[in-house]
Structure 1
Amino acid sequence: MTRLEHLNITVPDIDAALAFLTIIAPDFKVRKDVKSHTSHRWAHVGNEQCYFALQEPHLDSLSPSNAQKAYKNFGVNHIALVVESIEIIEENLVKEGYRRGILAPEEAYRKRAYFFDAAGFEWELTEYLSDNPDEMYLYE
């Protein structure tokens, strides 16, 4: 069975990325955080099944920018995670000042929420209320 093992994302601030991830994925732990004096900082954060490889800009990047516009330019539109207790996660994200993305329609067998992290990445958070694939995934 194919599964996602990790995503490698360049972020402007690893500490800000870790702060966001601890809210949306409380089971994620920092596996490794390398703060080198001679190279860029990087960190791996996740659980036993998957992780995010976060890194600061490098390779002679003098002034990185975020010119990507989701759903308009080539690139990542959003990153999706399956979560538990989505209402608590939403409450904590709002309390910490994270900006909401699009509003997802109400559905019988899943709850979804979209939020932007400090770097501008949009995250889709989904809590499934069924284990039946015919109910979980609506393609209407």
Structure 2
Amino acid sequence: MSAYVEHANITVADLDQAIVFLQTAVPEFTVRHQGQNRYRWCHIGTEHSYIALQEVVERTEPDRTPYVDVGINHIGIVVDDSHAVEQRLLAAGYRANELSEDSAYRRRVYFFDPSGTEWEFIEYFSADPAQRNHYPE
């Protein structure tokens, strides 16, 4: 079996807004489970992989505990149709990052969710790993 990423865990400012953003971008994503312990959380994705979201915990004192503050650079999700994702997110009023890539092998678009987290949506045009992983000089 090849290794693959099963999930990423991120802290968001508003769990409900993050769910709406992800389901707008990728309508087939479902909430697999959600709960409440020290914070509200959910797993959203497919039966094979998901994003673990947890809502930031309001506090008055600084806290250096892991999983407490909002933060990540970006998360990349492979999609079948990057243009459709882009159209859905723009129509819903989400902000695009000017970064994008159109190449012979892939198309990438980047959007920000309401927490300010950047999401990359990648459409590959080749099944060949050498082409999918090609980086222009």
Q: TM-score, normalised by structure 2?
A: 0.83
Could you tell me how far 1:39 is from its partner in structure 2? 3.9
SS of the residue corresponding to residue 44 of structure 2 reads: strand
Question: Residue 119 of structure 1 aligns to a residue in which SS?
Answer: coil
Q: Which residue of 2 aligns with 1:89?
A: 85
The one-letter amino acid of 1:53's match is A
Equivalence for 1:62: 60
Return the alpha-carbon distance in structure 2 between the equivalents of residues 109 and 63 of structure 1.
Answer: 48
Equivalent residue, structure 1, for 2:26:
25
Identity %: 43
Separation in 2, partners of 1:92, 1:19: 12
- Following superposition, the deviation at residue 63 of structure 1 comes to 7.9
Q: Which residue type is aligned with residue 95 of structure 2?
A: R
Structure-2 residue corresponding to 1:101:
97
Conserved in 1, the CA contact under 8 Å of 2:9 and 2:53? yes
d(CA) in 2 for partners of 1:39, 1:121: 22
The question of whether the paired residues in 2 share the 8 Å contact of 1:11 and 1:57 is answered with: yes
SS in 2 for 1:111: strand
Tell me, in whole angstroms, the C-alpha distance in 2 between the residues paired with 1:24 and 1:62. 34
Structure 1: which 5+ residue stretches go unaligned?
Answer: 65-74
Q: Choose between structure 1 and 2: higher strand proportion.
A: 2
Q: Under a length normalisation based on structure 1, what TM-score does the superposition of the two structures give?
A: 0.81
Contact 1:24 1:83 (C-alpha < 8 Å) held by counterparts = no
- Secondary structure at the counterpart of residue 104 of structure 1: strand
- 1:77 paired to 2:73: yes
Distance in 2 between residues matched to 1:119 and 1:27, nearest whole Å = 22
Alpha carbons of 1:28 and 1:116: their partners in 2 closer, same or farther (altered >3 Å)? Answer: same
Q: Could you report, residue by residue, the CA deviation over 1:33-68 in whole angstroms, capped at 9, with x for unpaired residues?
A: 22x4x742111111111111111123x73389xxxx
- Paired residue total: 127
Moved over 4 A (4+): none
AA matched with 1:84: D
What root-mean-square deviation, in Å, do the aligned CA atoms of Structure 1 and Structure 2 show?
A: 2.0
